[in-house]
Chains A and B, each alone.
Chain A
Amino acid sequence: MLKIFQRLWQVNWAEQWQYRANLIMYLLYWLVSPIIYLAVWTSIANSKGSVNGLTANDFVTYYMTLLIVDQITSNIVIHTFAYKIQDGTLSGELIRPIHPMLTNTLVNNIAFKTLPIMGFIPIWIILFFLYKPDFSNVALNGILLAIPAMMMGFFVGFLLSAAITALAFWTTRVYSIHEFYFALILLFSGQFVPLTLMPKLIQDIAQYLPFQLLIYYPIQLILGKLSNAQIVQGYVMGVVWLVVAIAIFSWVWRNGVKRFSAVGA
């Protein structure tokens, strides 16, 4: 099994290097909206002194950490897989003795992230000198705790996206469903603002949803803003949602594949 993953990695990694030009565009995508939010909120915090207890530095550190966390926990399954179901190219992968989603697509996603991560290190350093954030609250144990949390977040997000992608076995409108899912992420993950600035109702709901595991929870872990009880709660939510996500994905996948009759077959 390990050998299979190793081989898939080599293939997918080599494939990523074909699209070097895309990298610049991708980095731009990744950079623009957090920088916009950062600019908006620091300008407000500077004029007011603080926003709901958050200073300009809090916003700078939040969004600069978000750039890293989002890169690690996000995935592109819908873009690399849904069309295979729709145009039937999935057939070729289904006859292989390995799971198409949990091996090839998973490795492809990781390879896809790794190249931009290398590209963004210099950009992040430039931003660091531009904004001179004060990261003095960041402690080693926060980062160590955040690493498994981000992996958990990635897998929860990956499995949920994979389950939504697999809805393509039933409907051609899978992209619309995914757009709706994406809106939920924006609303509940902390991508737009630190969740404490959201309306109370949204905060209360967000606590129990998986989306904050992708963004808000790892960021707060890294920035050392959580009490021990909150850290434990986050991990418990992570494990619970991981189990739920596995269950949802395997159910959708099993039933979906049964319905699959490849186009042109």
Chain B
Amino acid sequence: MRTLKLLSAFLKVNVQMSLAYRADTVVNILLNIMWLGWELLSLSIIFNNTETIGGWGFGELIALLGVFRLVHTLMIALIWPNTEKFNQSIRDGSMDYTLLQPINSMFLVTFSRITVWRVWDLVLATVLIVVGINIAGDIVTPLSLLTFLLLTVSGAVVIYSLWIVLIALTFWFTKFDNNVTILQALLDAGRYPVTVYPVWLRILVTFIVPIAVATTVPLQALRGDLVVSRALMFIGISIASFLIASRVWKAGLKQYSGASS
């Protein structure tokens, strides 16, 4: 309950901050629509020349684009702004104040900045997923929908956990400013089904920087490509990765000694 209260307080603060830059918000939404146009154009160019890629059709790629946008939103609305603040606080020592607060520091560090207008991206993503699945004509059962939702959440948790580990590394190597660039660099791989990629890239984006776990995998569930045991495995992995990440965070905090001392 307390967590929800805090979260709504964070949201309120962030809405107020973004209201100070209304025109920027409008410009950003326009740019966002422009990128959507570009993404749809690039898909239509691909499907002018083929009916399927990696066994997936046009509709399914639209739906994948929707799932990709969910991950992208997580990246841009939460991961980037909080990382920026975190890196700054390690450098100038304001992390001390964060640690003095009587709340879980991991929660505070990862949720205090939220780019609020990006919420609109979630709506857009949902529309893309629904429209895409309709075009593809895949039959959605309550079970496949449920596994899809569970796997989307667990994919997000896996990426969130990796993020925690990456920023926690900053406690050991203070000058590790590039902590999330590796996530950002590989993010684009989530736009297409990993079945298209060469083996090394598939391994990289499934096991090491698991972008695919949050994009291709949930959609495989929605298409009915994923056996239940696999789905359970991915959910298990996400729980495990979250537990590991909290451990790493705690160990990192012990390393922290403040900027001026």
Q: Are A197 and B45 in touch, CB under 8 angstroms?
A: yes
Q: Are A36 and B45 in touch, CB under 8 angstroms?
A: no
Q: A198: nearest residue on chain B (CB-CB)?
A: B45
Q: Tell me if B28 is interfacial: C-beta within 8 Å of chain A.
A: yes
Q: Are A39 and B49 in touch, CB under 8 angstroms?
A: no
B residues near A47, Cβ cutoff 8 Å: 50, 52
Q: Are B50 and A36 in touch, CB under 8 angstroms?
A: no
With A36-B197, A173-B24 as contacts: A44 and B34 at CB distance below 8 Å: no
A-B contact count (CB 8 A): 75
State the Cβ distance, B41 to closest chain A Cβ, in Å.
8
A residues near B54, Cβ cutoff 8 Å: 43
Q: Tell me if A176 is interfacial: C-beta within 8 Å of chain B.
A: yes
A residues near B38, Cβ cutoff 8 Å: 183, 186-187
Q: Are B31 and A51 in touch, CB under 8 angstroms?
A: no
With A29-B181, A35-B201, A52-B49 as contacts: A180 and B31 at CB distance below 8 Å: yes
Contact segment of A20-28, A73-81, A87-95, A228-236: A20-28
Chain A residues 183 to 237 lying within 8 A of chain B, measured CB to CB, are 183, 186-187, 192-193, 197-199
Q: Are B24 and A183 in touch, CB under 8 angstroms?
A: no
Q: Tell me if B186 is interfacial: C-beta within 8 Å of chain A.
A: yes
Q: How far is the CA of A187 from the CA of B191 in the complex (A)?
A: 17
Which among A40, A180, A197 is the interface contact of B196 at CB below 8 angstroms?
A: A40
- Between B50, B189, B201, the greatest number of chain A beta carbons within 10 A of the residue's beta carbon is seen for B50
State the Cβ distance, A74 to closest chain B Cβ, in Å.
16
Q: A29: nearest residue on chain B (CB-CB)?
A: B185
- Between B35, B182, B196, the greatest number of chain A beta carbons within 10 A of the residue's beta carbon is seen for B196
Chain A residues 143 to 196 lying within 8 A of chain B, measured CB to CB, are 173, 176, 179-180, 183, 186-187, 192-193
Q: Are A51 and B178 in touch, CB under 8 angstroms?
A: no
Q: Tell me if A130 is interfacial: C-beta within 8 Å of chain B.
A: yes
State the Cβ distance, B27 to closest chain A Cβ, in Å.
5
Q: How large is the interface on B (under 10, 10 to 19, 20 to 34, 35 or more residues)?
A: 20 to 34
Which among A22, A32, A40, A187 is the interface contact of B53 at CB below 8 angstroms?
A: A40
Q: A176: nearest residue on chain B (CB-CB)?
A: B27
Q: A173: nearest residue on chain B (CB-CB)?
A: B27
B residues near A36, Cβ cutoff 8 Å: 188-189, 191-192, 197, 201
Q: B178: nearest residue on chain A (CB-CB)?
A: A25
Chain B residues 182 to 214 lying within 8 A of chain A, measured CB to CB, are 182, 184-186, 188-189, 191-192, 196-198, 200-201
Q: Are B27 and A28 in touch, CB under 8 angstroms?
A: no
Q: How far is the CA of A36 from the CA of B42 in the complex (A)?
A: 13
State the Cβ distance, B200 to closest chain A Cβ, in Å.
8
Q: A54: nearest residue on chain B (CB-CB)?
A: B49
Q: Are A197 and B49 in touch, CB under 8 angstroms?
A: yes
Q: Which 7 A-B pairs have the closest CB atoms?
A: A25-B181, A28-B185, A44-B50, A29-B185, A51-B49, A176-B27, A39-B197
